[in-house]
Amino acid sequence: MQVKIERKVGVLDLGSNTFNIKFVTFKNREVRSIFKYKKYINIIASTNSDGNIQKNKERELFQTFDEFKSIIDIQKPDALKVIATNSFRRIKDKAFVSNAEAILGYKIDIISSDQEGEFVFKGVSSSNQIGERKYFILDIGGSSTEIIKVSEDKISKIVSLQVGSVFLSNKFIKGKKFLYEKASEYVAKELEREGISEMSFKNKKPLYGTSGSFKTAYRACQILMNAESSSIKENVANIQHVYSYNANDMTFAGKYQIKSPGLAVTITPDGERIFAAPKDSDEIGVFIIEFSQNTKLETNYYLSAGNLSKRGICIDPNEKYLYTLVNIPGDDDSFEPYNDFSFDLQRIKIN
């Protein structure tokens, strides 16, 4: 049997609040994921109402493109596609886009809302066993939301709303308060403009959610459910010891006895800020998501290096730092004295 040559293909997705890059290999009809990386970046807040990038934000964005260019150079893909969505559709600054393309060394394909909906449909329909012939797909992005109506396994309608998680946060959070009524009015007008009523979703058709917003909400629900059950069940995933080392010279600082389950959620003393870590880690670590108790929206992201599949998280009384218990796989085969223990203590500065 003839063995086909392995090909490496990459995709860089320039979203409104995250840039995602992924590389896979194709060989003998087998697809294997070999690398992925994402970076949170609020490009919406960097764009003026006239569609131009703020000059004081350009340098930071170009540094981000440099970072992804370095990843591309290391991976050396046989083919790479750079795709941008709604945030780039709103950018009128052609010079900025050209400079970004020059840094990356690839053309940025700014797809339409219909193309975006088609890609979402293909992803959902090909990766899930869907028994229904009629259903909705809701893709909540950072600056837009795509509603895809599927009938007889085909797209019958795609609607793109200028309603996204980051867009709404930037537009309707004033200080620490979310202007809920004004935001609701804005969303209602967008729905009315597109001829969408509440009755559209009350016919018992299944709805499939995509994007990071749905994943975040799902993980947060899992975390809260697990936190509630862990308060009832005793001795579940207890952490016996935490070994601490001085950061300046890595000398032994102390051994701590922990006899309670590692927490996945922590809340500030005043109850205003909630920090939740997803159940599963990414390849580069675990993102801790900060929510506002008032708005119920995400406000900040923090990256904890290491695998926190069994983890603890807490906040100091002064609300300056998060402390997490992390397992760094790279340390497992090392000679350090804490090699045989599951967790290291990591401190993360809070914004």
Are 60 and 139 contained in the same domain?
Answer: no
- Between CA 123 and CA 72 the distance in angstroms is 24
- Report if residue 232 sits inside a domain: no
- Report if residue 327 sits inside a domain: yes
The residue ranking higher by pLDDT, 36 or 280, is: 36
Are 204 and 241 contained in the same domain?
Answer: no
- Between CA 203 and CA 49 the distance in angstroms is 38
Confidence of residue 245 (pLDDT cuts 50, 70, 90): very low
CA 41 to chain centre: 10
The residue ranking higher by pLDDT, 128 or 340, is: 128
Are 21 and 89 contained in the same domain?
Answer: yes
Are 287 and 335 contained in the same domain?
Answer: yes
- Between CA 105 and CA 65 the distance in angstroms is 10
Neighbours of 290 (CB within 10 A): 18
- Report if residue 219 sits inside a domain: no
Q: Which of 146, 181, 213 is the last residue of a domain?
A: 213
The residue ranking higher by pLDDT, 242 or 269, is: 269
- Report if residue 226 sits inside a domain: no
Are 342 and 248 contained in the same domain?
Answer: yes
Are 24 and 71 contained in the same domain?
Answer: yes
pLDDT for 220 equals 66
What digits encode the pLDDT tens for the residues 192-225? 887 776 556 566 678 888 877 777 667 666 666 6
Are 133 and 176 contained in the same domain?
Answer: yes
Are 180 and 254 contained in the same domain?
Answer: no
| Amino acid present at 330 | G
**Structural domain for 170, as ranges:** 128-213
- Report if residue 223 sits inside a domain: no
pLDDT at 235 over 50: no
- Report if residue 222 sits inside a domain: no
Are 252 and 343 contained in the same domain?
Answer: yes
pLDDT for 255 equals 43
Are 332 and 252 contained in the same domain?
Answer: yes
Tokens encoding 187: 């969303």
Q: What is the mean pLDDT of residues 72-90?
A: 92
Span between the terminal Cα atoms of the chain, in Å: 58
What digits encode the pLDDT tens for the residues 108-166? 999 998 999 899 898 888 877 787 788 888 888 888 888 888 888 889 888 888 888 77
Are 272 and 345 contained in the same domain?
Answer: yes
Count of structural domains, the chain: 3
- Report if residue 231 sits inside a domain: no
**Which CATH number belongs to the domain containing residue 209 in this structure?**
3.30.420.150
Are 102 and 33 contained in the same domain?
Answer: yes
- Report if residue 179 sits inside a domain: yes
- Between CA 109 and CA 15 the distance in angstroms is 12
Q: What are the two backbone dihedrals, phi and then psi, of residue 99, each rounded to the nearest 5 degrees?
A: -65, -40
Say if pTM beats, i.e. exceeds, 0.85.
Answer: no
